[in-house]
Structures are given as structure tokens and as C-alpha cells.
């Protein structure tokens, strides 16, 4: 597995943990890293993603809700929602990551952590979000 994929998977796990135990970003990340091992570069990428999602969460959640027809955020599984948050952050704010890479990574992570329906669900919403984002 590539370093960035590992970073994304760890970011998903950290975001999920923060959803279940909303102790604040700094404390949540410190608790998360107590049970994880990762090289410094992966750790830094993970924290960039988690911090970025946290900083822009309100805007990201609004966008996800707009693009997910007939699905409120409360109805989405926490795993799917956090994959969407992570990928939406990349699409909107990471100019160094091509759109197709972000969407593909979201789908692959959904295959690993989500349900059987998750990859198609994630793909549909990310395609909608990406359509409104200029090429990098």
C-alpha cells in the first residue's frame, strides 16, 4: 500500500474516532496516535487531512448534503460520511492531488471500510462534488 493511501486510511480512522468521541482535535489526535504506528511522513499527511477536514467541516458537510439527493448526513453511515468528508476536503483544498486520484482513493477506501453499497454511493456523491470543482 502506498504512503498516501495509508495516510488516508489513518485519517478516516481518526475522523471516525473523533465522531464517536468528540474530545477536540488536539486531544483526539493525541489519543488516536497512542494506538497507532506510522512513519513521520505518513503521520504528517494524516494530520494535514484530519486538520483540514476539521477546519472546513461545516462547509464540507453542507456541500455533501447538497450533493447527496434524499440523504441527510444523519442517515449516512459514519464511515461513508467521513470518507466523503476526507475526499471533499482533497477536492476543494488540496491542489496537489488530482481529482481522479481523490475519487479513486475514496472508492478504494470505501471498498475496504464500508459496506457493499459504499463504493457506488461514494462515487456518485464525489462525482457530483468534483463536477463543481475546477481542474487542478
- Confirm whether 34 is domain-assigned: yes
The pTM score is 0.93
pLDDT cut 90: percent of the chain above it: 74
**In sequence order, which ranges of 1-136 are alpha helices (DSSP H)?**
3-20, 25-34, 40-55, 57-67, 78-93, 99-113, 118-131
Range of the domain at 100: 3-131
How many structural domains does the chain have? 1
- 33-36 contacts at long range (C-beta below 8 A, 24 or more positions apart): 36/10
- Confirm whether 93 is domain-assigned: yes
Mean pLDDT of the chain: 92
DSSP state of 94: -
- Confirm whether 136 is domain-assigned: no
Q: Provide the CATH number for the domain around residue 66.
A: 1.10.940.10
In 3D space, the residue among 97, 93, 9 whose CA is nearest the CA of residue 52 turns out to be 93
Question: In this predicted model, what pLDDT tens digit does every residue of 10-19 receive, in sequence order?
Answer: 999 999 999 9
Amino acid at each position: 500500500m502506498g504512503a498516501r493511501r495509508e495516510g488516508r486510511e489513518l485519517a478516516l480512522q481518526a475522523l471516525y474516532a473523533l465522531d464517536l468521541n468528540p474530545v477536540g482535535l488536539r486531544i483526539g489526535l493525541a489519543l488516536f496516535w497512542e494506538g497507532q504506528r506510522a512513519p513521520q511522513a505518513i503521520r504528517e499527511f494524516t494530520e494535514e487531512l484530519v486538520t483540514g477536514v476539521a477546519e472546513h467541516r461545516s462547509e464540507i458537510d453542507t456541500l455533501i448534503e447538497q450533493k447527496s439527493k434524499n440523504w441527510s448526513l444523519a442517515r449516512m453511515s459514519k464511515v461513508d460520511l467521513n470518507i466523503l468528508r476526507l475526499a471533499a476536503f482533497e477536492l476543494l483544498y488540496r491542489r496537489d492531488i488530482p481529482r481522479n486520484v481523490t475519487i479513486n482513493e475514496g472508492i478504494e477506501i470505501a471498498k475496504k471500510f464500508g459496506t457493499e453499497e459504499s463504493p457506488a454511493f461514494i462515487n456518485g456523491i464525489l462525482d457530483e462534488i468534483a463536477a463543481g470543482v475546477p481542474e487542478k
